[in-house]
Amino acid sequence: MADAVRTHGLFKRYGPQVAVAGVDLVVPAGSFAGLVGPNGAGKTTTLSMITGLLRPDGGSAEVDGFHVWRDPVQVKARIGVLPEGLRLFERLSGRELLLYNGRLRGLPKADVERRAGELLAVMDLADAADKLVVDYSTGMRKKIGLAAALLHNPSVLFLDEPFEGVDPVSANTLTDVLRRFTSSGSTVIFSSHVMDLVERLCDWVSVMSAGHIVAQGPLADVRGGRSLNQAFLDLVGGPRGQGQAGLDWLGARTGAHPGEHPGARTGAQPGEQPGARPGGQP
């Protein structure tokens, strides 16, 4: 099987901080691939370099056999991108946004209008097609962003945390569209730190930690008979209980809440016995 994405020695430094340290990433064509790792592992930086949004300090990246920096026109014609921190033209309606994106891609007007209408319907945005994007919810913004990324029918789709902040209904819609996309032989690569989601959707997984790829391959191979979450913890490691030292007080209950006088719950005043009546009456 040909590779949809291949990188060799991809490297990026921000001042003294190495964000990506010689990444060799491989994603076969037709895969539903997950790029997983803890926060700060280098996932977003890696995807930004592969999609041409960020120039690497070293190494190379290819998409469908085309070099990202030597053949940028060929690469950009073949990819769709839904980046983290999605920025949209908020003073356009959803429909206008898709039409604008399609014309920027050089698609014929009739094709753009037809595809935009179909995508709006599939994304459950038909009723909101003429609302301004600024008034869209987080889930609606993710869906219109995905529609814009799919409009030109790319062969490889890159998604950075596409389900972050998305409600279950919108997430189900996104999932259905992405599965349909890969069923035709196209490729999805999405980053996430939610292992259950990746395990449910993906057939190929790459695990990043501290700027390195520490494992990659078919989901079953990476799991190795474990849950993906357990495999991830075994691969990435991390402190095992060290951060809990000194927290013996956490959750402890001594009968009184902080700042509450022991007699507060019974109505007793300082110096009185709980249950005693004012004036010393029984």
Nearest to 197 by CA among 159, 225, 235, 224: 159
pLDDT tens by residue, 138-187? 889 989 999 999 999 999 999 988 888 788 888 888 899 999 999 989 99
Backbone phi and psi for residue 43, each to the nearest 5 degrees, phi listed first: -65, -50
Residue 277 above 60 pLDDT?
A: no
Is 122 within 8 Å of 177 (Cβ atoms)?
yes
**124 in a structural domain:** no
Give the other-Cβ count within 10 Å of 115's Cβ. Answer: 19
Report yes or no on 8 lying in a domain. yes
User: Is residue 20 within a helix (H) or strand (E), and if so which, with residue range?
Assistant: strand 17-23
Query: Do the domain assignments include residue 66?
Result: yes
Q: Is residue 225 part of a domain?
A: yes
Domain residues for 45?
3-86+156-239
Residue 133 lies in a domain: no
pTM for this prediction? 0.82
Counted domains in the chain: 1
**Does residue 196 lie in a domain region?**
yes
pLDDT of residue 131: 96
The pLDDT of residue 246 is above 80: no
Percent of the chain with pLDDT over 90: 67
The CATH number for 219's domain is: 3.40.50.300
Among 241, 228, 226, which Cα is nearest to 192's? 228
Helical H segments across 126-265, by residue range: 138-150, 168-183, 195-201, 219-223, 228-236
What six digits make up the tokens of 170? 């919108």
* Domain-located, residue 111: no
Does 106 reside within a domain? Answer: no
Half-sphere exposure of 69 (CA within 13 A, CB side): 13
